[in-house]
Copies of this chain bind each other. A is one copy, B any other.
Amino acid sequence: MAQAYFRQRMFTPATFSLFVRSYPPNRGYFVAAGLEDVLDYLTSLSFGDRAVEYLRSTGIFGDDFLEYLRGVSFTGSVRAFPEGGLFFADEPVVEVTAPIIEAQLVETYIINQVNLQSMLATKAARCGWAAQGRGIADFASRRTQGTDAAVKMARASYIAGFQSTSNVLAASEYGIPPAGTMAHSFISSFPSEIEAFRAYAEAFPSRTVLLLDTYDTVAGAWNAVKIAKEMEARGDRMVGVRLDSGDFDQLSRQVRVVLDSAGLRYVNILASGGLDEYELDSLVQAGAPIDQFGVGTKAGVSADAPWSDMAYKLVCFDQRPVMKLSTGKVSLPGAKQVFRIRGDDGRFAEDVIALQDEMHACGEPMMQQVMSGGVPTGLSPSLEEVRQRFGNHFQALDPRFKILHRPARFPVSVSPRLKRLAAEVKKEAIAANVSAAC
């Protein structure tokens, strides 16, 4: 496509909208994430010698086009929802305006990253909602779909309120608190469970969390009591015990009784293994005495909704608004703005999707200019600021849009001007293409 544009000398600016067409099952909002990686990518876009030589070796591309690629960089502008903000179906979360070849070359990466990170942040937000204030640690790295997803899961889930991650690389890169864990293999490598517990308590006197279920969870709790008493004798305090299999509701109650009967009320109970927002909700509703959760695979692959219908569509070319009419995939024409209106209670009441140059008396414009002429317009917010923004937005969203099953649809309307434009562009497109061809 880029070569065809090049041959036609099509270097005029185009605008592309990135948006989600419809909600995946049980979703009522999306958490914007991935913008920082998009800006980094755009800033560093280039074709090196190796890339150009590979493309030449395919025999598909002409020398003139390959020379053009060798000099290409991203020179366009980007407007976007800030990371951590909430957005809804049909709303452009990112809009890119650039010479069409540039805007098209970056399509795959932009969709890939904003789709992944927003999906994972949304999943994590759902887990946080279900946990009702209990802390959550990201334990997903082992089974995310690849290493990129592992690192992005740590970041996205921290944005959406998780407290820590077991991914040490992500902890180091992003400044997220690292969470260490003990595996069953640690227990099995010692002649007996209690010897393993003792070795761990000696290595980490201030961070001891013991895994109880290698052989039998309640028997493990009694071993943990012995170790906690040994620690007390040394002036240390055990942080917690962890359940990793079985019926968490029942086991957490049994373990709580064992700990309390030994005067160990201060020892927390953690649970991990197969948890997602639905399971967290059940446990919290049942009143299981679990103080903290470790959430892994099902959150890290967004198991109940592992993809979303996120698309990057041309909406304006050379000042001309355009749209596609494909069955089930109609897009809205023109560069846009999203205005968010709050109710008297300060909560989000309604969004209006409008054309970029429209004004709205009482709505706050959600899309901000983040890149101009290929250069970021300001410093990126810190991860803590992004996390804070998520917290503010999430608090402003009524619970009926946050419930885990079949949430209500947040009201999003299209401005009268955009509606009229869409109708006109559709009519012209049919006249020029459908009627003419048949």
Interface of A toward B, CB cutoff 8 Å: 1, 3-5, 7-8, 10, 14, 16, 51, 54-55, 58, 60, 100, 104, 107-109, 111-113, 115-116, 119, 141-150, 152, 168, 172, 178, 180-189, 191-194, 199-200, 202-204, 207, 213-216, 218-220, 222-223, 244-246, 297-298, 301-303, 306-308, 310, 313-314, 317-318, 322-329, 429-430, 432-438
Contact = CB atoms under 8 A, between A and B. Distances in A.
Contact of A148 (B10, B148, B329): B148
Contacts of A302: 306
B58 A433 contact: no
Contacts of A215: 324-326, 429-430, 433-434
B185 A313 contact: yes
Contact of A16 (B141, B185, B301): B185
A113, A204, A306, most chain B CB atoms within 10 A: A306
23 contacts: A1-B181, A4-B202, A5-B186, A8-B199, A16-B185, A55-B168, A60-B204, A109-B147, A112-B141, A112-B142, A112-B150, A116-B146, A143-B308, A144-B146, A146-B147, A146-B152, A184-B313, A184-B324, A187-B324, A189-B317, A214-B433, A219-B434, A246-B328
A298 B298 CA distance: 17
A247 to B, nearest CB: 8
A168, A178, A301, A326, most chain B CB atoms within 10 A: A326
Contact of A199 (B7, B150, B185): B7
Contact of A207 (B60, B116, B143): B60
A416 B322 CA distance: 70
Given A182-B1, A215-B325, A112 B200 contact: no
Contacts of A60: 178, 180, 204, 207
Contact of A433 (B3, B104, B172, B192): B192
B143 A146 contact: no
Contacts of A104: 183, 185-186
Given A147-B148, A214-B324, A223-B433, 4 more contacts: A10-B189, A60-B204, A188-B314, A215-B430
Nearest to A183: B1
A9 to B, nearest CB: 11
A327 B14 contact: no
How many copies of this chain?
2
A324 B329 CA distance: 50
A181 to B, nearest CB: 8
A115 B150 CA distance: 13
A203 B3 CA distance: 7
A145 B202 CA distance: 40
B145 A223 contact: no
Contacts of A152: 146
Contact of A307 (B180, B297, B325): B297
A43 to B, nearest CB: 17
Contacts of A107: 142, 183
Contact of A149 (B100, B145, B191): B145
A314 B185 contact: yes
Nearest to A12: B189
A194 B435 CA distance: 12
